[in-house]
A and B are shown apart, each in its own frame.
Chain A
Amino acid sequence: MQIEELYQYSDTVNELLARYGVKFGIYKNGTFNEQLFPFDMIPRIIKKEEFTCLEKGLKQRVAALNAFIRDIYGKKEIIRDGVIPEEFIYMGSGYLAQCEGVLPPKGVFTHIAGIDLVQGKDGKWYILEDNLRIPSGASYPMIARTICRKSSPALFEQNSIVDNRDYAKLLRRTMDYVNTGGHTVILTPGRYNAAYFEHSYLAELTGAHLAIGHELVAENDHLYFVDYSGKKELVGAVYRRISDEYLDPMNFNSESVIGIPHIFDIYRKGNVAIINAPGNGVADDKGIYYFVPKMIRYYLGEEAILSNAPTYLPFYEEDMKYVLEHFDHLVLKDVAEAGGYGVVFGSEMTKEEKKKFVSMLKEEPRRFIAQEVIDFMDIDIYEEGKLLPRKADLRAFVLMEEEPVVWESGLTRFSRNPDSFIVNSSQGGGFKDTWVMAE
């Protein structure tokens, strides 16, 4: 494969991405700034057999996570059977008491899961994080692929690369599967949201209506979209890109002005599907991550196909001892943070910082997890005429219909800083396309 063919058009492709507004927003010092999302032309390539294995593992993981959420807001058998301590459920910020006893349409909670993985230098894949609330990022490789196919048609003609532009179709099927009857709406907080490009692009490609909160009204236990002629149209599915907290001021944060009053009541009655289901945060908490292999065993009676990064919970005495003894070799994560924030490397702390951190850790052991630093595989990026190795992760997308379906691609994010493991776009990272080979 002649990869050189690809990067000779790097500037033109990035210009086209700018033309289509492929951006993300960042709030810094109270000001909103939109930035182009830097795209590197060299893709991550995953061989067919490797992807088949990943696919199996991802489906298994999401099936277990869905079963877990259903159980937690239902019978709570996993707690009763002592597999997960209840502190990890009820003390986490993702648990929502309002969701107790609520079963969403067709029993689906995790409609769209974004599972972050890294590949170790030995080629082994590790799960880093499960994102079950509003994972974003699928639109970027999709639009990049459309443009790259124009810039290097021969490359796509001569190699069997699975076309990833079917994500919108998968998403539409996922939304239609749970739709209770009526229109499908993508609910956005508005133009100044970090992922607004994605909201609007997915609405365009899926044919769903992009709406802001006050365009939807609750009436007679149903949700309606108000047309410009004043007509009310029934809504059956809402793919919300608003966090639980702001979704419904009558049931969650009463100060929210971007949500829809009473949407949760309608959902509770089974008259609208909310995608992803409220309360999913209970399962993607960094503390719960530790228990996912146990969940797989508990609900599916199988061993986890994909491994977690070796993780320790200071909550357990034995793990706390290990963490304190190996502090300098571990990465510590605040379970309440996301987006690459709240992540500190033991080796990078000063004596003073370490002392302060350890005392915080002892005071609030539930708040942190510790992980072995995985020396993950570098991927080349092309910058200023040179190939440079950078750390990169992969966000795989698993969509739930009757069974979980894994999108045959993914968002590969890379760190632009040679010394950093943090790949998040909000911290200056770029993205790559992910090619899954068909043969």
Chain B
Amino acid sequence: MAILSVEHSDQLFWLGRYSERVYTTIRGFAERFDSVMDVKTEEYVEYCKRQEIPNIYTSKEDFVRRYCFDESDPNSIYSNLMRAFDNAVVLREEIGSETLSYIQLAVYAMNKAKVSDAPLIHLQRVVDNIMAFWGMADDDIDRDCVRRILKLGKQVERIDIYARMKMAPKKIKKEVKRLNGQVGKTGLQYSMVRLAHLNYIVEVEPVDYDQIVEDVDQLFDEGTEKIVAGF
């Protein structure tokens, strides 16, 4: 019988979160960059605020470069991709070499973008590889618990980012619905109270985005009311 250690379940969850974070932030960043370029040149300040990352950038140019590629900035897309890689590389036997290879390719693409004269266009390759990673994970990972925990991480991260970015409530509701279908099948412990509250809060208008972020981030961290979901 296949077994999964606590470490691996944790690493799968965070691989899901970080790869989704890289994917969504590059896409969100690309959209904003388009307007930062010549329309709302200070929009990056608002972006940092929403993402709860310190605005350490001196200009929009500095933001573009460092937010994307600064290895020493823990909030940069580069750092998040490296965290995804750190989790992926220790999961080869769970996710398979083929699936892992797309995260490795995303790292190579990121390093290429970093030294490119036109870095932003090269980030598309990173996005492509993350997409391929998810496609391969869906197709190639046989063990249900492995695939589900990975996807759960993706789901949680997506709700977190969407809420931080104050996206349309309809989009967030859709993701919360997906989360409901996913969380119970993973075998992970979670707080039923938090999940119920999350389901309630996304229906209330105006949407309390901060509360959504809190609920989703506390879903697995709270010490009480935890239940072990069945397979």
Contact = CB atoms under 8 A, between A and B. Distances in A.
Contact of A226 (B1, B5, B93, B228): B5
Interface in A223-264: 225-229, 231, 233
Interface stretch (A129-137, A209-217, A290-298, A314-322): A209-217
Q: Output the residue of B86, B92, B188 with the most chain A CB within 10 A.
A: B92
Given A20-B101, A20-B104, A191 B90 contact: yes
Interface stretch (B6-14, B155-163, B164-172): B6-14
B4 A227 contact: yes
The dominant DSSP class at the A interface is mixed
Nearest to A229: B187
B187 A19 contact: no
Counting chain B residues whose Cβ lies within 8 A of the other chain, the interface size class is: 20 to 34
B182 interface: no
A201 interface: yes
Interface of A: 18-21, 183, 191, 196, 200-201, 203-204, 207-212, 215, 225-229, 231, 233
A20 B6 contact: no
10 A-B pairs with least C-beta separation: A200-B92, A203-B93, A228-B9, A204-B93, A215-B5, A228-B6, A19-B101, A227-B3, A233-B3, A228-B4
Contacts of A226: 5-6
Nearest to B4: A228
A33 B160 CA distance: 34
The dominant DSSP class at the B interface is helix
Contacts of A229: 187, 228
A18 B111 CA distance: 14
Interface in B156-215: 187-188
Nearest to B91: A200
Given A21-B104, A229-B187, A200 B93 contact: yes
A183 B93 CA distance: 15
A201 B97 contact: yes
Nearest to B100: A21
Nearest to B9: A228
Given A21-B89, A204-B92, A211-B5, A228 B104 contact: no
